[in-house]
Structure 1
Amino acid sequence: MAGGRRGPARQQYGRPPLSPTSSSGAGNRTGLPGPASSPPLASGVGPLHIRHPKVPELAPNGGLAFEGFLFLYLFLALLTHLLNLYKTVWWYPAQHPPSHTTLNFHLIDYHLVAFITALLARRLIWALVCQMGGISPGTVLQLVLLLSLRVALLTVSAGIQAWTLSRLFHSHSLISLLFLCYPCLVYVPLYWWSRELRTPRQDTSSNHTDKNGVAEEQTESVGMSASRVLFLLLEALRQQFVGASVLPPHACALSPPAVRAEVQLLKWDFNLRIKEVLYNSLLSAYYVAFLPLCFLKSTQHYDMRWSCEHLLLVWVNSFVLLTAHRLPPTYCDRLHRAAAHLGCWQRLEPGAHGNTPQHTWSESIIWPQGVLVRHQKSLYRALGTLNVAIPSDVSHARFYFLFHRPLRILNSLLTIEGAVVVYELYGLASSRRWQHSLSAAVLLFANYVLVYRLLRDRLVLGRAYARADSLQR
């Protein structure tokens, strides 16, 4: 028989109940598969458990150390940008010296530089405050000192930004000041209507299911109360500093609804981390490389091509830095394990595989690899070792594509950063201006550190996963 022998070991792959019209063994006479479903093929049955490889413990990049490194890189990028904007030709002959210094210091707006520096240091200051909060004081005096230091740090940071902003308000036009607040004006509506501030459990409370099992959103009122607006703003600011919440540990659940619920939680958390990375990288590139151009005088000339390249390089490097920090190897391994339990489906042509046994997809069955199922009048083939994903759900297919290979994200980051290093080395070798050579040489050190960490993680994890694959075979 095609289905093989039924027994206790085959209960996990039970078949749905047959329809009354298909109880006869002959089926229909047209040769097409009838509405009845047969059990999965015995040759396609996979294991009920997946052996996950043990990821070695790598040296973690702590929050305070990472924020310090990120701030140092952005501050050096700001200084090199100012070097290219306000350079002089001080090496000219002494008979007609245009300047006695390497930079036109009288043209630099120090209030703008202080404002940008204080803004870039916000994450470092917050990490330092959180680090102090984790220290357990032994006496009341130590507790008072720690609280005083935390309040002093926040007060000094906010005071510097307020003072420099007031000085800029008196010395520049209103249009120029709008460039200072533009990222904040974009940030507020970005998180105002965002549904990702709520967890999936909270998000499902505002949905209901119709008769066909399709989730429909309840109509939300256009107006929002003041408390709701304040909650969204405070939650957005909290996520800006502390990031996503801590996820529960992975459990190799055999229940398909539990696997899909875990995938839904991981999708929400991953999207939140990526949104945080994108916004912070764009914010860093905006204030480091674009904002100084907005405050230049109309009579001042600068290299537009190099400024655009500097803006792009700062954004790419900040993106890779933040992504490597927010998506560490342990987190990517967690996504890979969930993708291995989720599985994936490949949509086939309607007339293909007419003589192959086909089954009606059920949400309570773990389907083996290679089995054919019908879902919403379409034919699908199981690709994963275990498959509990909804065949018509595009987000499940996208999740499996991104994370079923555990090193996909790490390889992508390493490729991007390697291309950036090669481009900067080429620019360093071909540059004919001293400020361009100095800028490339200074910023290359940060790229070398990042490439070293990514390459170290890639080699260690690659050997671990290769060894696990060889043991499974």
Structure 2
Amino acid sequence: MAYDERSDTGSSSDAHDGCQRGKMGAQQVTMPKHIPFPEHSTTPEWLSELIMCCFTMGATIVQFINIYRTNFWLPQSHTRMMVNIELIDPFLRLLLIVLNTRRLFYCFLLGNWKNQGHYILQWGLKYGYAALVQFSIGYCSYRLYLKHTYMLIFYISYPVVVYLVIFGFQLEPFLRSRFELPGVYINDMPVHSCTTNPEQIRHEIEILREDFNKRFKQLIFTCMLNAYLVLIPCLLAFTVHYNVMRAAQHCIIVCLGAFSLSAVFLYPAKYSDTLHRATLHLGCWQRMDRDLQAAPSQLIVAANALNWNRYAVYGNGTVVKHMGGLFRSQGLVTVATPGNASHVRFYKLFQNPTIIYSTLATLQAAVLLVEIASLTAAGIEWHFVLSISFVAFTSMVAFFKLVRDYIITKQLYRAECATTYN
């Protein structure tokens, strides 16, 4: 970890001298300047949960149409319904509804009690609601098991195993896609504290890094669960003949669509800007003693290098020695720990978040083109046209938000570089 929680081995006077050197270092370097982020609309949690719930529910309904569709338009057809609802197990429908709506209902319940300060009631509401959801899932799974083979146990246990592998025995990720870690949060978004204290900066980086990793785990689990919810109807359709390739393709495009929507909701531009601001204070160290071509000149550089001090703030191009290595600072200021791989990855990833949004927007554009091209191969299969059109329409929402975030961050950080280095 970047933040050293161990006590110093030196005396208190040494620690005091180190703090004084850190203050002097902070005065000698130019601290980064942040440009105010534009106030564009951000999606609140309840709206993002509503959109994701509608997307998953609609994708599941379309999958049922792919499997249990009827020829309702034919004159000799004995039914005027689009789907043979009587062939769909009612407990399967209830199971899918519970899994789809669990976070949306909990979000509305949490919104009514979150700001009232009743912690005991919030605790009881959380675990009571979780117990009700888990009981409903368990009861539906048991009734389905009585009607089907033992393979159903494997089908139902798949999301449980994936959840335990990703989150362990934590309950909060099951009920919310956004959850706060210990630190400063406003509206479920971390806040950057602009400070010159190196240890506080490294501690903030650890909090932000953990928050980013938890959001990424939530992103992976959400897209996998959405794909599972449109796959389980296929696994339980034992007595119905359907186009397996079309159903599998629908599962894939739903997984990709859920990935894009989750990325937009979990990593908005405002969130990446917070991590970018922290990155400007963190800086990065580039290892120098591994460059074999520059080995003769390393002795001269090493003789003039400073010993890295955890309390100091270093300017751009400063050379330090730490743990037998020689490092040169990158960035306007640097307080990162030399040789810390997590600090290097954090700096490289969020030094310019525009690359993240441009990459996601490009991938989303490629997915949209594939979906549109698939419509030409659908032919007269109206149900497949319906499934592709539904996912493509919802994917355009994610594509619009990604392009918007890309344009905003590109213009913002271009102005930031011009202000900082000129």
- Confirm or deny a common fold (TM above 0.5): yes
Report the Cα distance in structure 1 between the residues aligned to 2:80 and 2:375, rounded to whole angstroms.
Answer: 26
- Among 81, 87, 107, the alignment partner of 1:127 is 107
8 Å contact from structure 2 (residues 268, 405) kept in 1 = no
Aligned to 2:181: 245
Matched, 1:463 2:411: yes
Q: Give the number of aligned pairs.
A: 383
8 Å contact from structure 2 (residues 69, 84) kept in 1 = yes
Report the Cα distance in structure 2 between the residues aligned to 1:163 and 1:439, rounded to whole angstroms.
Answer: 30
Report the Cα distance in structure 2 between the residues aligned to 1:252 and 1:154, rounded to whole angstroms.
Answer: 38
8 Å contact from structure 1 (residues 343, 387) kept in 2 = yes
Matched, 1:400 2:347: yes
TM-score, normalised via structure 2 length: 0.79
Aligned to 1:357, the other structure's residue is in SS state helix
- Among 247, 255, 269, the alignment partner of 2:197 is 255
The structure with more helix, counted as a fraction of residues: 2
Aligned to 2:60: 78
Aligned to 1:319: 259
Residue 102 of structure 1 and its aligned partner are, at CA, apart by 4.3
Superposition RMSD on alpha carbons, in Å?
A: 3.6
Aligned to 2:286, the other structure's residue is in SS state strand
Residue 290 of structure 1 and its aligned partner are, at CA, apart by 1.9
Aligned to 1:386: 333
Partner AA of 2:414 in structure 1: A
Report the Cα distance in structure 1 between the residues aligned to 2:219 and 2:317, rounded to whole angstroms.
Answer: 38
Report the Cα distance in structure 1 between the residues aligned to 2:408 and 2:182, rounded to whole angstroms.
Answer: 25
Report the Cα distance in structure 2 between the residues aligned to 1:420 and 1:306, rounded to whole angstroms.
Answer: 16
Report the Cα distance in structure 1 between the residues aligned to 2:113 and 2:335, rounded to whole angstroms.
Answer: 43
- Range 97-106 or range 55-64, more displaced: 97-106
How do residues 184-263 of structure 1 correspond to structure 2 at under 5 angstroms? Answer: 184-192=160-168, 233=169, 236-242=170-176, 243-245=179-181, 247-248=183-184, 249-263=191-205
Residue 63 of structure 1 and its aligned partner are, at CA, apart by 1.4
5+ residue gaps, structure 2, are 1-19, 185-190
Partner AA of 2:308 in structure 1: S
Aligned to 1:373: 320
Report the Cα distance in structure 2 between the residues aligned to 1:104 and 1:240, rounded to whole angstroms.
Answer: 32
Aligned to 2:87: 107
- Range 74-83 or range 340-349, more displaced: 340-349
In structure 2, the CA distance between the partners of 1:239 and 1:111, relative to structure 1 (3 Å rule), is closer
Matched, 1:357 2:293: no
5+ residue gaps, structure 1, are 1-7, 15-44, 137-143, 193-232
Report the Cα distance in structure 1 between the residues aligned to 2:257 and 2:307, rounded to whole angstroms.
Answer: 45
Aligned to 2:180, the other structure's residue is in SS state coil
Residue 155 of structure 1 and its aligned partner are, at CA, apart by 9.1
Aligned to 1:382, the other structure's residue is in SS state strand
Residue 132 of structure 1 and its aligned partner are, at CA, apart by 2.5
Kindly name which structure, 1 or 2, has the bigger radius of gyration based on alpha carbons: 1
In structure 2, the CA distance between the partners of 1:308 and 1:246, relative to structure 1 (3 Å rule), is farther
How do residues 122-161 of structure 1 correspond to structure 2 at under 5 angstroms? Answer: 122-134=102-114, 161=137
Matched, 1:416 2:357: no
**1:274-310 Cα shifts (integer Å, max 9, x gaps):** 11222222122112x221122121x543333333322
8 Å contact from structure 2 (residues 29, 314) kept in 1 = no
Matched, 1:60 2:36: no
Aligned to 1:185, the other structure's residue is in SS state helix
In structure 2, the CA distance between the partners of 1:327 and 1:100, relative to structure 1 (3 Å rule), is closer
8 Å contact from structure 2 (residues 313, 335) kept in 1 = yes
Report the Cα distance in structure 1 between the residues aligned to 2:418 and 2:358, rounded to whole angstroms.
Answer: 21
Report the Cα distance in structure 2 between the residues aligned to 1:295 and 1:405, rounded to whole angstroms.
Answer: 46
Report the Cα distance in structure 2 between the residues aligned to 1:431 and 1:78, rounded to whole angstroms.
Answer: 19
How do residues 321-340 of structure 1 correspond to structure 2 at under 5 angstroms? Answer: 321-340=261-280
In structure 2, the CA distance between the partners of 1:161 and 1:436, relative to structure 1 (3 Å rule), is same
TM-score, normalised via structure 1 length: 0.71
Aligned to 2:156: 180
In structure 2, the CA distance between the partners of 1:191 and 1:159, relative to structure 1 (3 Å rule), is closer
How do residues 18-57 of structure 1 correspond to structure 2 at under 5 angstroms? Answer: 47-57=29-39
Aligned to 1:121, the other structure's residue is in SS state helix
- Among 435, 442, 448, the alignment partner of 2:396 is 448
Aligned to 2:236: 295
Report the Cα distance in structure 2 between the residues aligned to 1:130 and 1:93, rounded to whole angstroms.
Answer: 51
In structure 2, the CA distance between the partners of 1:151 and 1:253, relative to structure 1 (3 Å rule), is closer
